[in-house]
Chains A and B, each alone.
Chain A
Amino acid sequence: DAKTTQPPSMDCAEGRAANLPCNHSTISGNEYVYWYRQIHSQGPQYIIHGLKNNETNEMASLIITEDRKSSTLILPHATLRDTAVYYCIVYEYNAGNMLTFGGGTRLMVKP
């Protein structure tokens, strides 16, 4: 069963903010939200993760709703090199549990 729902594709104009939504309505209290991205012909790359609070790093910001049922990954100034598939993953560590990639959102940044 998929734990996350993401739109299959999105477009964004270069230089604008890209806001990628993710629904995780069945998330449990101990599960974190992780975001990875995969640029064409490359391996996935970690972006950011969070539990309840909003998080920001040099790559992106993560906004998690108060009920934790959804989140948004924000790329503040998208560039053409941000064109990639973005995966939202909910994950809780326990024995035998591994990060599981879902469908992802294919983001196309256009000039």
Chain B
Amino acid sequence: RKEVEQDPGPFNVPEGATVAFNCTYSNSASQSFFWYRQDCRKEPKLLMSVYSSGNEDGRFTAQLNRASQYISLLIRDSKLSDSATYLCVVNRNSGNTPLVFGKGTRLSVIA
């Protein structure tokens, strides 16, 4: 089983739509969880950290279920500029340890 698994998509949605991405991770020792965004041929950029209580940043909402080892990202009112690959990321263990990346979910928002 891969350490971090995501549906690769692509998800093609119209502007204004709500879209949700899911991710599962295999290492129960992981302590930190993130969603990164990566545009074509660019480096990943941190979108948001994911906390156990769930957290929201504008149109983006992230949820974590430790028991199921499941992470989600919800994007409301999609914009054309949201088109990118969204990477589910966990750290390998606690502390400042390497990040493990999912393959990413490709989102295309269409006018």
Do A and B bind?
no
